[in-house]
């Protein structure tokens, strides 16, 4: 409001000065008396001309004073404006500083809260949520790793172990046969009735698997006798009738156990008994007379009636084979 009044007063002063300057210029341009005229008027006692001249000079002096006042007021206005701007900027700077101090105080308060372990309001993640997220991730990783290991172990066990037959009911394994024993006599399944027996199919030229399995069978026979008092008859049936003659089989079985019985026969007879007991065999890598026979690695436990009871694969050792046979014998007696 004060600045507006100052501007109005300066405008009025400028208008008055302009009028005075115009009047004074008119007076000057009309007729300015010369000094000689002024002296003559004073001699004759005419004081009107000096008075007019004096009034003219006074007007000029007043005009100069007004111009000075005008310049001083304009200068004061111009100086007051930047001063007011400076005061405003200073006040704004003070406000900003005060706001900055407040913000710094707020930041220090937040830092103090964080240092004291308190959760900052409005924060996206707290320590508790971070801990829960970490615990959940660790649990998932542990569960996935454990399940993966268990799955791998199951695959390895299934690839090595031979699945056992059904525990209930009778399997379609076994049947009549007519073969030649290692002493040259003909025998049938009826000759084995009355005693427990374990049948194994192989061939005498087998490099490693058949000898290992027969050694295991011979040791289990003796342990079964010690643990249960039952005599179990071990039987070896050849799946290589072309090379396994009676004499060859006789010399072969006596190397493992004195009670081990060896059986052989013609290719048709061997094929029939192998079909009855679900045994797989096939010649491989045939070169002249030297070849191998790929076959099933299974032992069949037969009851005194020559009924199939259970089979045992290569994964069983002497102890597990002994325990399994003794268990089946005791259950059979009940």
The predicted-structure confidence for 164-175, as pLDDT tens digits, reads as follows 444 455 668 999
Question: What's the distance, Cα to Cα, between the start and end of the chain in Å?
Answer: 122
Alpha-carbon distance of 264 to 243, in angstroms, equals 10
> pLDDT grade, residue 287 (50/70/90)?
low
Q: Is 37 annotated as a binding residue?
A: no
| pTM check: above 0.95 | no
Residue range 211-225, pLDDT digits in tens: 999 999 999 999 999
**% of the chain beyond a pLDDT of 70:** 56
Least confident stretch, 63-67, 126-130, 226-230: 63-67
295 is in an annotated binding site: yes
In angstroms, the CA 167 to CA 331 distance is 12
Helix pair angle (318-333, 209-228), 10° resolution: 50
Instruction: Confirm whether residue 257 is marked as ligand binding.
Output: no
**In whole angstroms, what is the distance from residue 53 CA to residue 58 CA?**
9
Is the pLDDT at 18 greater than 50, yes or no? Answer: no
Q: Helix (H, G, I), strand (E, B), or coil: what is residue 299?
A: strand
Q: What angle do CA 275, 258, 293 make, to 5 degrees?
A: 35
H helix or E strand, kind and range, residue 126: none
pLDDT tens-place string over residues 96-154: 444 444 444 444 454 454 444 444 455 556 888 878 888 888 888 888 788 888 877 77
Distance of alpha carbon 259 from alpha carbon 271, whole angstroms: 25
* 3-class secondary structure, 152: helix
Q: Is the pLDDT of residue 78 over 60?
A: no
């Amino acid at each position: 409001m004060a600045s507006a009044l100052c501007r109005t007063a300066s405008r009025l002063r400028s208008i008055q000065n302009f009028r005075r300057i115009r009047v004074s210029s008119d007076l000057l341009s009309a007729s300015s008396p010369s000094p000689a005229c002024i002296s003559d008027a004073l001699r004759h006692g005419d004081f009107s001309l000096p008075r007019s001249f004096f009034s003219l000079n006074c007007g000029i002096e007043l005009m100069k004073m007004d111009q000075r006042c005008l310049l001083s007021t304009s200068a004061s206005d111009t100086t007051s404006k930047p001063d007011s701007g400076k005061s405003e900027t200073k006040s704004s700077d003070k406000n900003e500083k005060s706001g900055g101090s407040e913000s710094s105080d707020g930041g220090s308060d937040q830092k103090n809260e964080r240092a004291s372990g308190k959760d900052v309001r409005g924060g996206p993640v707290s320590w508790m949520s971070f801990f829960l997220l970490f615990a959940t991730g660790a649990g998932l990783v542990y569960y996935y790793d454990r399940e993966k290991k268990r799955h791998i172990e199951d695959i390895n066990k299934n690839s090595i172990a031979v699945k056992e037959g059904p525990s209930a009911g009778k399997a379609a394994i076994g049947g009549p046969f007519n073969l030649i024993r290692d002493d040259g006599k003909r025998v049938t399944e009826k000759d084995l009735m009355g005693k427990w027996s374990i049948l194994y199919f192989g061939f005498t030229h087998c490099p490693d698997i058949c000898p290992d399995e027969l050694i295991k069978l011979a040791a289990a026979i003796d342990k079964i006798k010690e643990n249960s008092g039952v005599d179990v008859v071990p039987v070896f049936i050849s799946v290589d009738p072309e090379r396994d003659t009676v004499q060859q089989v006789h010399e072969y079985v006596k190397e493992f156990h004195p009670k081990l019985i060896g059986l052989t026969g013609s290719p048709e007879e061997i094929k029939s008994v192998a079909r009855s007991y679900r045994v797989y065999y096939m010649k491989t890598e045939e070169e002249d007379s030297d070849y191998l026979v790929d076959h099933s690695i299974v032992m069949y436990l037969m009851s005194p009636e020559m009924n199939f009871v259970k089979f045992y694969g290569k994964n069983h050792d002497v102890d597990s084979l002994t325990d399994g046979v003794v268990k089946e014998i005791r259950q059979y007696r009940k």
